[in-house]
Amino acid sequence: MIDKVTLANHKSDAKYFDVQAEFNFGKEREYIFNHVWRMTKNRFYDKGLHGVDWDALGQSYSRYLPSIHTYPEFAEMLSEMVGELNASHTGANYFGAGRNREKVASLGVFYDDTYQGEGIKIDKVLPNGPVDLPNSPISDDSIITAVNGKTIAKDKDIYPYLRNLEGKLTTLTVKAPDSDKTDTVQVFPIDQYKESKLSYSYWNNTRKSLTNKLSEGRIGYIHVQQMESEDYKKLVDKLFGENQDKDAVVIDIRYNTGGNIHDQFIDLLSGVDYGEAVSRDGYKAANFPLRRWTKPTILLANPSSYSDASVVAKLYQDNKLGKLVGDAVPGTGTFVNWQTQQEPLLQYGVPQLGIKDSKGKWLENQDITPDVLVHNYPESVARNRDVQLETAVKQLLSQLNTQK
């Protein structure tokens, strides 16, 4: 539509028209391929492209173009090609795939995968989830035998029975593991994203409780999910709020997906006491510095400490702010440029900036070995143990006891 407006009288005269254009997926696919290939060659942070013969790779992968018939396939192929660089922050994404796919709702529980009987056994009801209701017959170890009257077959999981039930009143038939008596309860299932937030909250709270128990209240615990400004504000609030009276704090960046606050993060933890404000009767009103943490910390990290989280791990260790505890952290310190392609649902990204350490070495692909290397093996995780956190608390307690 083109709208013509006469300024003198503000009258509008809309002209509607149709335009027909021939769409050639093969030509568009070829154009996008050549574009992202050139973009990678000209913008990748390392001029040497990690030693890869990019010209040869372009020729090799272009042979597959005639066999690509959908954008999801195309995105996968582009990801395979740029993956040859062995670099972080690379790949292609097509955001149109699965938009009309059936969605499986969630009940906000952990299931017992070892259970072999009829129905589905609940291992843990997540607090504040759909089935966490007052006076509910559902609890840990309850067995769900039916959803909306449909009996769950012995060889089936529950997910097919929860298709497209998000936000809809749903009747669950449940029973205790040692009883044949059944009850029904009505709930409103949630989407998987909301369940993931409930799961994270439960995980985070259990880490805090474990730290408090092991240290007898002396040590605080803070998990940082991302290296974004809001996460930094939460870190400051928790340090100088609920943890201000703690003797030390475990700061956990495991599973942190990155961002760009490493400068503020390191500065926050690098405080050194240089004075205090004291009244005439000896009341300590404040310690200086006011905006930097001066008490002992330990940084907990693992291979999923990604992007800026790996940068924080490296800088924390290099600046000797405290012990780095956990698994080795792969260096993934680059800044990515995600670019929307001519097909607006297709996105392609390569890192344009890299970070070097104080010795001039790229952080990318540089393994960061913790001061205290400790693994969370699957068997210990299955027993609900967090050996890495246990080790971090022990290390801090030892440090505090030595300082006495």
Per-residue pLDDT tens digits for 126-174: 999 999 999 899 999 999 999 999 999 888 899 999 999 999 999 999 9
Helices of type H across 67-191: 71-83
Predicted pLDDT of residue 133: 94
Count CA atoms within 13 Å of residue 328 on its CB side. 7
With bands split at pLDDT 50, 70 and 90, how would you rate the model's confidence at 98?
low
Of 391 and 98, the structure prediction assigns the larger pLDDT to 391
Predicted pLDDT of residue 22: 81
Contact, 120 vs 106, CB < 8 A?
no
Which of 63-67, 177-181, 305-309, 343-347 comes out lowest in average pLDDT? 177-181
| Separation between Cα atoms, residue 301 and residue 251, nearest integer Å | 9
Architecture of domain 218-331+367-403: Alpha-Beta Complex (3.90)
With bands split at pLDDT 50, 70 and 90, how would you rate the model's confidence at 92?
very high
Between vectors from CA 225 to CA 193 and to CA 353, what angle results, nearest 5°?
A: 110
Whether 110 has a pLDDT exceeding 80, the answer reads yes
Give the residue extent of every domain in the chain. Answer: 27-94, 109-190, 218-331+367-403
The three-class DSSP label of residue 233 is helix
Which of 47-51, 89-93, 150-154, 215-219 comes out lowest in average pLDDT? 150-154
Domain over 109-190 is classified CATH 2.30.42.10: yes
CATH number of 27-94: 3.30.750.44
- Mean pLDDT, residues 384-388: 96
Element (H, E) at 122: strand 120-125
With bands split at pLDDT 50, 70 and 90, how would you rate the model's confidence at 404?
low
Whether 195 has a pLDDT exceeding 90, the answer reads yes
With bands split at pLDDT 50, 70 and 90, how would you rate the model's confidence at 28?
very high
| Separation between Cα atoms, residue 396 and residue 128, nearest integer Å | 33
Predicted pLDDT of residue 17: 75
- Mean pLDDT, residues 301-306: 98
Contact, 187 vs 267, CB < 8 A?
no
